């Protein structure tokens, strides 16, 4: 179920921004059902699914994992690898609630710092992360499908 909302939310976020072939390839490579099973089975990962109050349809999710592809890390780091909501939840506070839960889960896992990567052109996401106390720690190149993009890595002490 999480891979379903992952695909839908990634498509909503990047349709018209990224090429369709890159979106599909990225989802197949980075958000397959097997990826979510692996993260769910990992004791140092947390997968959180948010459901709509009317009917319990999935409308958002987060994934916390061991850091990967976010540059230099230090002991106690954790990566917020995914945080997405569907557009229908915009303005409801769901993103803030998911972030608060991710921070709580990261602390429960013993993490001291949270890292995340974001497409530099996703100004809405960058603004959200900055409101949540994250600051840019470095820039990186990130491949989506067959295309390289400029990303930012954000960090926040927990």
Question: Each residue of 15-73: pLDDT tens digit?
Answer: 999 999 999 999 999 999 999 999 999 999 999 999 999 999 999 999 999 999 898 99
- Check pLDDT > 90 for residue 84: yes
The per-residue pLDDT for 88 is 93
- Check pLDDT > 90 for residue 78: yes
The per-residue pLDDT for 11 is 94
Q: Which fold has domain 2-157?
A: Aminopeptidase (3.40.630)
Question: Each residue of 140-154: pLDDT tens digit?
Answer: 999 999 999 999 999
The per-residue pLDDT for 1 is 84
pTM over 0.85: yes
Of residues 81 and 90, the one with the higher pLDDT is 81
State how far Cα 157 lies from the chain centre: 17
List the chain domain ranges. Answer: 2-157
User: What number of other Cβ atoms are within 10 A of residue 64's Cβ?
Assistant: 27
- Check pLDDT > 90 for residue 102: yes
Which pairs with CB-CB distance under 8 Å and at least 24 residues apart come from 134-139?
137/71, 138/71, 138/72
Model confidence at 131, pLDDT cuts 50, 70, 90, reads: very high
**CA-based nearest residue to 65, from 84, 98, 86, 38:** 38
DSSP string over the chain: -HHHHHHHHHHHHHBTTB-HHHHHHHHHHHS-HHHHHHHHH-TT-EEEEEE-TTT--EEEEEEEES--SSS---TTEEEEEEEEE-GGGTTTTHHHHHHHHHHHHHHHTT-SEEEEEEETT-HHHHHHHHHTT-EEEEEEEEEETTEEEEEEEEEEE-
């Amino acid at each position: 179920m999480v891979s379903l909302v992952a695909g839908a939310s990634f498509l909503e976020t990047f349709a018209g921004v990224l090429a369709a072939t890159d979106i599909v390839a990225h989802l197949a490579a980075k958000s397959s059902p097997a990826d979510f099973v692996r993260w769910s089975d990992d004791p140092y990962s947390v997968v959180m699914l948010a459901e709509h109050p009317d009917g319990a349809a999935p409308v958002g999710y987060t994934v916390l994992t061991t850091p990967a592809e976010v540059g230099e890390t230090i002991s106690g780091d954790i990566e917020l690898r995914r945080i997405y909501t569907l557009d229908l939840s915009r303005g409801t506070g769901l993103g803030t609630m998911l972030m608060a839960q991710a921070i709580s889960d990261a602390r429960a896992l013993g993490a001291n710092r949270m890292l995340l990567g974001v497409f530099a052109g996703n100004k809405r996401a960058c603004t959200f992360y900055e409101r949540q106390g994250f600051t840019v720690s470095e820039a990186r190149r990130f491949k989506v499908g067959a295309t390289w993009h400029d990303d930012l890595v954000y960090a926040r002490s927990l």
